[in-house]
Structure 1
Amino acid sequence: MLAIRLPDEIEARLETLAKRTGRTKTFYAREAIVQHLEDLEDLYLAERVVKRIQSGKEQSAGLDEVEARLGLAD
């Protein structure tokens, strides 16, 4: 269970959206959290990869190189 306090303006916007669409405020809060959580997970994964590349533990490849490895080069 999660309880959050929202600023009055955000609460009002959420209430309006819920009324206009026939969905609950909980539905939209859950959707927003899930989407943001996915974005954060992607961000942190990308940051870890960048650190591994910068430290030499991992290498990157350009599009031309990847296409050539996969036999997709023109």
Structure 2
Amino acid sequence: MFPGWMQIAIVIILIMLLFGRGKISDLMGDVAKGITSFRKGLKEGAEPEVTEAPKPVEDKRTIEGETVKTEEKEKDKA
């Protein structure tokens, strides 16, 4: 059963009497700051990171003085 408007008003009045208007407004201000910082964090996290492309590395392995190229296996990367 959904509470009626009169019951909601009574609960609000009781909360105001228990905590006072000052504490409630401070709490709401803190909640608003938290929501703002959360949204800011989401925006910062959504921006793509700009990084430089990795530079190619030359393989300098040698066998008897001759340069030998090695191939990486695609299965090892997965």
TM norm. shorter chain > 0.5:
no
Higher Rg of the two aligned structures: 2
TM-score of the superposition, structure 2-length normalised? 0.42
- Select the structure that is richer in strand: 2
TM-score of the superposition, structure 1-length normalised? 0.44
